[in-house]
Structure 1
Amino acid sequence: MSPRRSYDQYCSAARALDVVGDRWTLLIVRELLAGPRRYTDLHADLPGVSTDVLASRLKDMERDGLATRRRLPPPGAASVYELTPRGRELLAVLQALGKWGQSELGGRRPTDAVRAHWFALPLLRALEGEGLVEVRLEEGEFHLRIGVAEASVYGDGPAPEEPDARLVLDVDTCTAIARGELSVRDAVRAGRIEVTGDGPPAKALRET
C-alpha cells in the first residue's frame, strides 16, 4: 500500500482531493455504486486501468474508509468490494461532477469505451419521484432506484423485482439526456422513450 500523498493545505477541498484525487478513484466509486463487485468485474468495466493500478487504488480506498472487501459465502466463495457509508456519500460528488461535465461530453470518439450502466447516473439526475426503474438499451440493461436511500443506486441487468417503470430507449437519446440537451419528459413526448409499468414513475412519465 502506497503512502498517501498530500497537498499539505489546510483546506477541505485539498483534504478531499488527498483521498479521491488520484486517477481512477472516482470511477471505481462509480462502479461500486452498483453494489458489491468482484475485482474481475471492476477491471472489465474500467477499460484502460492496469491491474496494478486498480489493486493499488482499491487498497487505498480500504485504508481511507471508502470501501471494504469481504468474502461471499458458498457457492459464490469470491471476494467482493463495496462502498462504506462514507464512500456512498460520494454519489453527490459524482452527480455534481457529471452535471458540470455535461458540456465536455461532446460526440463519442472512436476510442471511447461505453457501458450501458454508465448512463445510470445521468438518468438518476433526470428522473423524478421514487421507485425502481428498469432501463433497456441495445447495449444492455440496468436498473435504478430513484429517490430511495439504498446501499446501491443502480445495478447491471434487469430489475431484481417487478419495477415501477420500464424505459426502452437508444444510446443517442441517453446521450442527449446526459449532455443536458433533452429532458426525460420531452423524450417521452417525442416518442424516443417507451414507458411501461404501473408504478408512480411510469404513470408520471405517461402523463407528460
Structure 2
Amino acid sequence: MAEGSYNQFCPVAMAAEILCTRWTIVLLRELVAGSTRFNELRRGVPRMSPALLSKRLKDLEAAGIVARSQLAGDPGLYEYTLTSAGKDLGQVVFAIGEWGQKWVTTESSLGKLDPNLLMWDMRRNINTKPLPRGRSTIQVIFSDLQEARRNWWLIVEPGADVDLCSVDPGFDVDLYLVTDLRTMTEIWMGYTTIAHTKSAGTLVITGNRQLEADLQTWLGLSPFAKFEKSVA
C-alpha cells in the first residue's frame, strides 16, 4: 500500500507506511464518523478526487482496514465498513483530532474554511431528539459567499437520517441562520458561542422560536470542541 517504504521494522514506521499517505487519515476520519458509501465519503472529503478516493479505499481494503460489500438489490453500489483493525484506528484518529484542536492555532484552522465540510460535519452530529416530531427544515445562509455556495438546507424528519441539500428542496423553512462562514465555523469548533455572535450581530436567527431556543442543544458542537486550545 505504501508509496514509499521506511525500511524499518518499528511498528510506528510500519503503521506510518499504511496510514500516512496523502488523504488517508482524513478518509479514515469519515469512515470512523460513520460514512459508508462512496458518495457520502466524497462529501466528507470534497477536495479529494474520485480517482484518488477509489485508490485509497482499495489500499485500505488491501491492508485489512476496510471491507467492501455489495449493497443488496443494487449491483452497482458498494458499502465500505471498518474491520476490527479499522475500528481500532478510531482512537488514533480521535487522538490526532484532539491534538490538532489543542495545539494548532485558531488562526491556522480558520484560514482553511470549507462550507461543504462544515455543513456535512454539522449534519451528521445533529441531535434530533429535541426537534419537533414532524419535519423541520433549517436554512443556513452564508452571507459572505457567492450564490452557488451560499445556501444550505438541513432537513430533519422522524426516523430518517438528517439530509443536507445545497439546492432548495422546496420545503417551507422553519428556521433561518444568516451568518458568515468564519463565524459559523467558530461556533461549531467551540471558539465562540451562539449567544455572543447573536449579540455581536454576526449571527441572525429568524423563524420558529422553539427551534431557536433549543438551537445549541440540537445543533451541538464538533466532537473536538470540548478540548481547550493550548495555543492562541
Structure 1 and Structure 2 fold alike (TM over 0.5): yes
C-alpha displacement at 1:177, in angstroms? 3.5
Cα distance between partner residues in 2 of 1:137 and 1:202? 17
Compared CA separation, residues 44 and 202, structure 1 to 2 (3 A): closer
3-state DSSP of counterpart to 2:116: coil
Aligned counterparts, 1:81-100, within 5 A: 81-84=80-83, 85-99=87-101, 100=103
Question: Could you list the per-position Cα deviations for residues 128-163 of structure 1 after superposition, in whole angstroms to 9, with x for gaps in the alignment?
Answer: xxxx714956134389xxxxxxxxxxx7528xxxxx
1:196 partnered with 2:214: yes
TM-score, normalised with respect to structure 1: 0.57
Compared CA separation, residues 175 and 142, structure 1 to 2 (3 A): farther
Q: Which amino acid aligns with 1:157?
A: D
Question: Could you list the per-position Cα deviations for residues 91-110 of structure 1 after superposition, in whole angstroms to 9, with x for gaps in the alignment?
Answer: 4134225413353213456x
* Aligned residue pairs, count: 167
Q: Which amino acid aligns with 2:214?
A: T
TM-score, normalised with respect to structure 2: 0.53
Kept in 2, the 8 Å contact 1:168–1:195? The answer is no
Kept in 2, the 8 Å contact 1:67–1:87? The answer is no
Aligned counterparts, 1:1-208, within 5 A: 2=1, 5-9=4-8, 11-74=10-73, 78-84=77-83, 85-99=87-101, 100-103=103-106, 104-107=108-111, 114-115=116-117, 116-119=119-122, 133-134=127-128, 138=140, 139-141=152-154, 157=163, 171-177=181-187, 180-182=190-192, 186-188=193-195, 191=198, 194-196=212-214, 202=217
Query: Structure 2: where are the runs of 5+ without partners?
Result: 132-137, 141-151, 165-174, 206-211, 221-232
C-alpha displacement at 1:25, in angstroms? 0.8
Compared CA separation, residues 141 and 56, structure 1 to 2 (3 A): same
Question: C-alpha root-mean-square deviation of aligned residues, in Å?
Answer: 4.1
Identity %: 25
Query: Structure 1: where are the runs of 5+ without partners?
Result: 125-131, 144-154, 159-166
Question: Could you list the per-position Cα deviations for residues 21-66 of structure 1 after superposition, in whole angstroms to 9, with x for gaps in the alignment?
Answer: 1111122122223424322443354333233322221111112232
Which of structures 1 and 2 has the bigger CA Rg? Answer: 2
Compared CA separation, residues 76 and 88, structure 1 to 2 (3 A): farther
Cα distance between partner residues in 2 of 1:5 and 1:55? 19
Cα distance between partner residues in 1 of 2:139 and 2:96? 23
